[in-house]
Amino acid sequence: MSRDDKFKKVISHAKEYGFVFQSSEIYDGLSAVYDYGQNGTDLKNNIKDYWLKSMVQLNDNIVNIDSAILMHPKIWKASGHVDAFNDPLIDNKDSKKRYRADVLVEEHISKIENKIHKEISKAKKRFGDGFDLEQFSTTNPRVLGYTKKIKEISKKFNEALEKDDLKNLKKLIEELEIACPVSGSKNWTDVKQFNLMFGTKLGASADSATDLYLRPETAQGIFVNFLNVQKTSRLKIPFGIAQIGKAFRNEIVARQFIFRMREFEQMEMQYFIKPGTQQKWYSKWKENRLAWHLSLGMGKENYRFHDHDKLAHYADAACDIEFNFPFGFKELEGIHSRTDFDLSSHEKFSSKKLKYFDPKSNESYTPFVLETSIGLDRMFLAVFSKALCEEKLKDGTERIVLKIPKILAPKKIAVLPLLKKDSLPELSKKIKEEFKWEFNTIYDEKDAIGRRYRRQDALGTPYCLTVDHQSLKDGTITIRDRDSMKQERMKVEEIKLKIRAELDIKSWLNS
């Protein structure tokens, strides 16, 4: 299956099974804004919970806050967002469509990467088990040619971005003969900077209304509360403040489903440290965050670090954890060494002291900050797209299954009476009542049992408990595993122990 086909399947499955809907769909939708349905909301909450537990509950020195979306407008001046939170945009003069100039180049590189991907898939098929990826990638002339091309483009691209050289960015687009995806035309305007913040107004009358912005990141709500939290919690450096919340960006290009949205959610943590220790904490948090991702068992080969060549205005080091999405490796999470930029700047703009008094050394200083920032919606897309599989079964039939990490699955258990008679529904409902206190459990009696298994597979439910005539006699029920499809007969108490063990967060995070 091509990457495009896979991505289309991800989007349609998300809609068909109640995970993600286009926002305002009955009014033809709102571009790059999405709603989460009944199953999507459960999955999203489970991701939040997994992040929060590992970040806050398991760390004695990290606390969680929930700051307001609307903040004083000076905050965005101090943070640098008013002046520097821009993306380079370019218009196509014929189609009148607007694009992000950097994304046009990135997509061009992705197309070349796809060609490499195709060569590798073909060779894998040809050589079977004897295929050696390392050898093939370093000797195949076509792959070598494509790799060289990518390096050349990336060099020019990074130089233009680093220097904010918009003229050279346009020159590169022309050199690569990039055409407008809609019209096929190569008739481009100059590249301009575009500020991504959404403006809004506070106040009832037009004259006295204050101009505000919807926050483009949750981080600033943490910085401006740094002293409130430090003083009331009495935390000593190093310590962290975490937050999950909405962020808003008026993205120029918004074509990749929930990958790039105009309203999205971030899970961020700012770690306040002693100046000079940032390199140590940067390495530590890179390691911690990768370990968190790997604990979900979605394949080590699907993650890679990407160091930033062009650093944001606040950072002295930064990297992304990239994930292998259906459209290739793209940023999932950012890890940024933010220096003392934010706290110093807020000190200047607010004229309030934001210093930390270190009782050990008897000195006051402005802490440095190490940030981890992951998009909740991107994490959702990573989990969902990796989980979606089409499997050929031994009997020749096919099944669609969402192999979501069991700890994140929206519903954990489906209780199914084998037949809709002979008191099986009554016993099933009783069993459902028993499980629902501990696990998100549903009851389903519609259709033949095979179809119900398929429905739960497609929803990603890890366990189906089937109640049959033997259950009436000896109280045993069968438990069917979503991934292996194996069925075992057990007592209710044994099933509880098994599921508890398999969903134990300690085992997941220590795996």
Which residues would be at the binding site for ligand GAP (CB under 6 A)? Answer: 217, 219, 249, 251, 260-261, 264, 266, 268, 331-334, 371, 373-375, 377-378
Cα distance between the two ends of the chain: 31
Quick one: 110 or 428, whose CB is closer to ligand GAP?
Answer: 110
Quick one: 87 or 468, whose CB is closer to ligand GAP?
Answer: 87
Distance, CA of 35 to CA of 23 (rounded, Å):
5
Tell me: cis bond preceding 238? Omega within 30 of 0 counts: yes
Quick one: 333 or 468, whose CB is closer to ligand GAP?
Answer: 333
Distance, CA of 259 to CA of 248 (rounded, Å):
13
Distance, CA of 426 to CA of 409 (rounded, Å):
26
CA 385 to chain centre: 11
Quick one: 244 or 479, whose CB is closer to ligand GAP?
Answer: 244
User: Which ranges of 17-95 would DSSP assign to H, the alpha helix?
Assistant: 38-52, 74-78, 81-84
Tokens standing for residue 420: 């809709």
Torsion region of 80: left, alpha or beta (phi above 0 gives left; psi -120 to 50 gives alpha): left
Quick one: 254 or 505, whose CB is closer to ligand GAP?
Answer: 254
Please, which residues have CB within 8 angstroms of residue 150's CB and are 6 or more apart in sequence?
Answer: 109, 112, 113
Quick one: 218 or 466, whose CB is closer to ligand GAP?
Answer: 218
- Minimum CB–partner distance for residue 39 and ligand GAP (Å): 20
- Minimum CB–partner distance for residue 247 and ligand GAP (Å): 7
Quick one: 169 or 319, whose CB is closer to ligand GAP?
Answer: 319
- Minimum CB–partner distance for residue 52 and ligand GAP (Å): 17
Quick one: 42 or 377, whose CB is closer to ligand GAP?
Answer: 377
- Minimum CB–partner distance for residue 146 and ligand GAP (Å): 27
- Minimum CB–partner distance for residue 217 and ligand GAP (Å): 4
CA-based nearest residue to 388, from 399, 397, 379, 396: 399
- Minimum CB–partner distance for residue 152 and ligand GAP (Å): 26
Quick one: 73 or 80, whose CB is closer to ligand GAP?
Answer: 80
Residue 378 · residue 259 · CB < 8 Å: yes
CA 200 to chain centre: 27
Q: Which residue's beta carbon is nearest to the bound ligand GAP? A: 375
Residue 367 · residue 222 · CB < 8 Å: no
SS3 224: coil
- Minimum CB–partner distance for residue 135 and ligand GAP (Å): 34
CA-based nearest residue to 341, from 87, 159, 81, 56: 81
Quick one: 377 or 468, whose CB is closer to ligand GAP?
Answer: 377
SS3 358: strand
DSSP codes of every residue in 10-77: HHHHHHHTTSEEETTGGGT--TT-EEE-HHHHHHHHHHHHHHHIIIIIT-TTEEEE---SB--THHHH
- Minimum CB–partner distance for residue 496 and ligand GAP (Å): 36
* CB neighbourhood size of 205 (10 A): 6
* Sign of the torsion formed by the C-alpha atoms of 341, 318, 376 and 48: negative
The total number of residues written for the chain in this structure? 511
Tokens standing for residue 45: 């909450």
Quick one: 378 or 452, whose CB is closer to ligand GAP?
Answer: 378
- Minimum CB–partner distance for residue 465 and ligand GAP (Å): 36
Residue 389, amino acid: C
- Minimum CB–partner distance for residue 467 and ligand GAP (Å): 42
- Minimum CB–partner distance for residue 447 and ligand GAP (Å): 37
SS3 266: strand
- Minimum CB–partner distance for residue 377 and ligand GAP (Å): 5
Tokens standing for residue 337: 């060494």
Beta bridge partners of 216: none
- Minimum CB–partner distance for residue 22 and ligand GAP (Å): 15
Quick one: 188 or 257, whose CB is closer to ligand GAP?
Answer: 257
User: Which ranges of 255-388 would DSSP assign to H, the alpha helix?
Assistant: 278-294, 341-350, 376-387
Residue 272 · residue 356 · CB < 8 Å: yes
Distance, CA of 24 to CA of 317 (rounded, Å):
40
Quick one: 251 or 468, whose CB is closer to ligand GAP?
Answer: 251
